[in-house]
Structure 1
Amino acid sequence: MKNQRLNSAFILSVCALSLNGCSMMMDEEEMAEQQPTRPAMNVIDVTAEDRTPVAATSSNETQPRGMDAYGAIGQPPLYSSVQGAYKGRPLTKHIGDYVKNMTQDLIANMEYVNDKTPIGVTHFALLDTNLQQTDLLGRQMAESFVHELHKFRVPVIDFKATEYIRITEDGDFVLSRDYLELSSSLPIEYVLTGTMTKHQGGVLVNARILGMQSRAVVASAQMLVPFYVVDALIPSDGSEQNGMRDGVKLSRG
């Protein structure tokens, strides 16, 4: 009888514990249902190329690109002092680096030109025009070629130089684009010129050295200049008016 009473007491205690455990589980489930769902924590995607924060919510929605987790619109990197000018990654190379490589190609296959044959450098023309139009890229390439040819000890004549210095309120100048102010007879035997055309990913530049009398091509080079290098050239006025193409102002001659 005593053992039966102990067994009955043990069974009753086990049942009581199980009932208490069941009631505790039910209470926890009810509390969980009553508590409002909390949104997921904001997670910033630092692996994105443009480092644009992406916020994850409970509905798996993402913030629009260009906005941070708090809805603020960020500004893209600006690498100039001109509003609306070149935006993008910082430049590691400029147009002079590409002209340097092209000059090495010209020197490698150049014929007849030596340290006794003066050479002139003209602007590069836009290929899909009447070859009488250029832009800021064509002008800067000519200036860079003058520098690179001089480094190779090739005699370069700047035919835009006048015989006097013009002193004005805007500055002191010796160069001019007025042909009436320039000499009509210069000892130029060869000329470096070329063309440019828009290409997928950049501007395809064709450079060549011609004989002034024979018109024979005595050297040639070709290179694709990426768009982000071309767009880094900023007009001095910084305007976007008619006659602008790809961020550079077109001009004749």
Structure 2
Amino acid sequence: MSAFNKRIALMVAGIAVSLSGCSMMKGDDETAQAEPVSQPMNVIDITAIDRAPVEPDDDDESASQGMDAYGAIGQPPLYSSVQGAYKGRPLTKHIGDYVKNMTQDLIANMEYVNEKTPIGVTHFALIDTDLQTTDLLGRQMAESFVHELHKFRVPVIDFKATDYIRITTDGDFVLSRDYLELSSSLPIEYVLTGTMAKHQGGVLVNARILGIESRAVVASAQMLVPFYVVDALIPSDGSQQNGMRDGVRLSRG
């Protein structure tokens, strides 16, 4: 056999081997497709990041309740300052928002009070005391009511204002709690006051407007303020000493 014929024979043999290999690979693929292959078990690895609270979603009820993707309640965040720390859910509303709603209720059923009848606002008293004791919530509610009444153009008299400005090393002040420094004659015809009672889930606030001379109730409102809104109020001194009840500083009216 000549060299040329040998070369042709080797080329034909190589092509045959290649076709045979392709046929075997195709047969192996068909066999693999015919026989089901068992899949590995799906194991979920829950890490610390997975346990973290998810961002609230308007369409997700569990997310709005502070739950993660597995239904567990996440660790609440910690809000701190130099005065103290508030540990709870992130606030979407503060005490001023609840006072705003109560003011609207007062205005809706108010009688006799108008833009020509001056009104005073006092602190809210704890209902289970002698009505001469308040706390930080009672003080802040009075401040918020002053703001909301003024927005409705109801004339508000701040009876804690003096007729001079006291300049001290701690600051410049015009307000005082010393009755000897305050005027005893003010044109107040009505007064907004109220009481507070601890309730399951919050503090029940009762607000009303009274006539100074008649003592008649000319407007009233009631609302439950959740505990997480109340607890967000932090005393300026952060004190945990005497005068505290359930973590809230009390004071005489």
Q: Pick the TM interval, shorter chain.
A: 0.7 to 0.9
Letter of the 1:134 counterpart: T
Give the equivalent residue in structure 1 for 2:10.
Answer: none
Cα distance in 1, alignment partners of residues 100 and 215 from structure 2: 24
User: Residue 91 of structure 1: SS of its match in structure 2?
Assistant: coil
Normalising by structure 1, report the TM-score. 0.72
Q: Is the 8 A contact 1:103 1:149 kept in 2?
A: yes
User: Residue 128 of structure 1: SS of its match in structure 2?
Assistant: coil
Cα distance in 1, alignment partners of residues 86 and 69 from structure 2: 20
Normalising by structure 2, report the TM-score. 0.72
Cα distance in 2, alignment partners of residues 241 and 52 from structure 1: 42
Give the equivalent residue in structure 1 for 2:185.
Answer: 185
Give the equivalent residue in structure 1 for 2:228.
Answer: 228
Give the equivalent residue in structure 2 for 1:123.
Answer: 123
Q: Is the 8 A contact 1:231 1:246 kept in 2?
A: no
Match of 1:43 among 28, 41, 46: 46
Give the equivalent residue in structure 1 for 2:205.
Answer: 205
Q: Is the 8 A contact 1:121 1:191 kept in 2?
A: yes
User: Residue 85 of structure 2: SS of its match in structure 1?
Assistant: coil
Give the equivalent residue in structure 1 for 2:13.
Answer: none
Letter of the 2:124 counterpart: F
Q: CA deviation at 1:230?
A: 0.2
Give the equivalent residue in structure 1 for 2:16.
Answer: none
CA-to-partner distance for each residue in 1:72-131, whole Å, 9 max, x for gaps? xxx852113147521011110000000000000000000000011000000000000000
Q: CA deviation at 1:135?
A: 0.2
CA-to-partner distance for each residue in 1:44-92, whole Å, 9 max, x for gaps? 3548746599xxxxxxxxxxx99xxxxxxxx852113147521011110
Alpha-carbon RMSD across the aligned residues, in angstroms, is 2.4
User: Residue 162 of structure 2: SS of its match in structure 1?
Assistant: strand
Cα distance in 2, alignment partners of residues 84 and 165 from structure 1: 31
Letter of the 1:170 counterpart: D
- Cα distance change of structure 1 residues 84 and 234 upon mapping to structure 2, 3 Å threshold: closer
Q: Is the 8 A contact 2:193 2:208 kept in 1?
A: yes
Give the equivalent residue in structure 2 for 1:132.
Answer: 132
Q: Is the 8 A contact 2:191 2:212 kept in 1?
A: yes
- Cα distance change of structure 1 residues 168 and 216 upon mapping to structure 2, 3 Å threshold: same
Letter of the 2:101 counterpart: N
Unaligned ranges ≥5, structure 2: 1-42, 54-65
1:163 aligns with 2:166: no
Give the equivalent residue in structure 2 for 1:144.
Answer: 144
- Cα distance change of structure 1 residues 162 and 199 upon mapping to structure 2, 3 Å threshold: same
Give the equivalent residue in structure 1 for 2:18.
Answer: none
Letter of the 2:236 counterpart: S
Q: Is the 8 A contact 1:119 1:156 kept in 2?
A: yes
Letter of the 1:189 counterpart: E
Cα distance in 2, alignment partners of residues 186 and 251 from structure 1: 25
Q: Is the 8 A contact 2:83 2:236 kept in 1?
A: no
User: Residue 229 of structure 1: SS of its match in structure 2?
Assistant: helix
Cα distance in 2, alignment partners of residues 103 and 84 from structure 1: 30
Q: CA deviation at 1:245?
A: 2.5
